[in-house]
Amino acid sequence: MIFQEFWFVLSCLPWVLPLNEYSSFLKASPRSVQVNTGPEVDVWEILQNAPASEYEKIAFQYGITDLRGMLKRLKKMKKEEKKSAAFLKKLEPAYQVEKGHKIKLAIEVANPDAEVKWLKNGQEIHPSGRYIFESIGNKRLLTINHCSLADDAAYTCVIGDEKCFTELFVKEPPVLILHNLEDQMVMKGERVEFECEVSEEGSPVKWEKDGVELTRDEAFKYRFKKDGRKHVLIINEATKEDCGHYKVKTNGGESTAELLVQEKQLEVYQSIADLTVKAKEEAVFKCEVSDENVKGIWYKNGVEVKPDARTHITHIGRIHKLAIDDVKPEDEGDYTFVPEGYAFNLSAKLNFLEVKIDFVPRQDPPKIHMDCVGHIAESTIVVVAGNKLRLDVPITGDPAPTVVWTKSEKVITNADGRIHVESTKGHCIFTIEGAERQDEGTYSVIVRNPAGEDTADITVKVVDVPDPPQAPKILSVGEDSCVVTWEPPLFDGGQPVLGYVLERKKKKSYRWMRLNYDLFKELTYEAKRMIEGVEYEMRVYAVNTIGMSGHSPASQPFVPIAPTSEPTGLSVDDISDTTISLKWRAPERMGSAPFDGYGVEYCKEGTDEWVPAFEGLIDRNSVIIRDLPTGEKMQFRVRAYNLAGPSEPATLAQAVTIQEIMQRPKIWVPRNLRQTLVKKVGETINIVIPFQGKPRPKVTWTKDGEPLDPKKVSIRNSDTDSILFIRTSDHKDTGGYEVNVQIENVEDKANVTIQIVDLPGPPQNLKIQDVWGFNVALEWKPPKNNGNCDITGYTIQKADKKTMEWFNVYEHYRRTNCVVSDLIMGNDYVFRVYAANMVGLSPEPCFSKDSAYIQKTGIVYKPPVYKEHNFSEAPKFTHPLVNRSVIAGYNATLSCSVRGIPKPKVIWYKNKVDISNEAKYRMFSKQGVLTLEIRKPCPFDGGVYTCKAINDSGEDIVECKLEVRSQVTKEDMKK
Segment 834-861, tens digit of pLDDT: 999 999 999 999 999 999 998 876 656 6
Which residues are bridge partners to 276 per DSSP? 351
User: Does the structure show a pLDDT above 50 at 390?
Assistant: yes
| Distance (Å) of CA 384 to CA 181, 289, 458, 469 | 41, 18, 16, 20
The per-residue pLDDT for 740 is: 93
Which residues are bridge partners to 747 per DSSP? 742
Which residues are bridge partners to 414 per DSSP? none
The string of pLDDT tens digits covering residues 552-603 is: 999 999 888 888 889 999 998 888 888 899 999 999 888 777 888 999 999 9
| Distance (Å) of CA 270 to CA 281, 286, 382, 549, 827 | 23, 8, 15, 16, 135
Q: What are the strands, taking DSSP E only, across 466-543?
A: 473-477, 482-485, 499-506, 513-514, 524-527, 536-543
Mean pLDDT score of the chain, rounded to an integer? 83
Average pLDDT rounded to a whole number, residues 960-967: 88
Residue 62: helix, strand or coil by DSSP?
helix
Burial zone of 732 (CB within 10 Å; 0-12 exposed, 13-18 middle, 19+ buried) = exposed
Is-contact 791 783, C-beta < 8 A?
yes
pLDDT range class, residue 65, cuts 50, 70, 90: low
User: Does the structure show a pLDDT above 60 at 640?
Assistant: yes
The per-residue pLDDT for 825 is: 87
The string of pLDDT tens digits covering residues 763-802 is: 999 999 999 888 999 999 999 999 899 999 999 999 999 9
Euclidean distance between CA atoms 496 and 488, whole angstroms: 11
CA 298 to chain centre: 63
Dihedral of alpha carbons 625, 626, 627, 631, sign: positive
Average pLDDT rounded to a whole number, residues 662-677: 87
Q: What 3 state SS string does 308-320 have?
A: CCCEEEEEECCEE
**Top mean-pLDDT range of 25-39, 135-149, 573-587, 807-821:** 807-821
Please name the amino acid found at residue 576: S
pLDDT range class, residue 12, cuts 50, 70, 90: very low
pLDDT range class, residue 22, cuts 50, 70, 90: very low
Is-contact 431 460, C-beta < 8 A?
no
User: Looking at per-residue confidence, does 680 or 863 come out higher?
Assistant: 680
Average pLDDT rounded to a whole number, residues 228-252: 88
The per-residue pLDDT for 14 is: 35
pLDDT range class, residue 362, cuts 50, 70, 90: low
Burial zone of 313 (CB within 10 Å; 0-12 exposed, 13-18 middle, 19+ buried) = middle
Query: Looking at the whole model, is its pTM more than 0.85?
Result: no
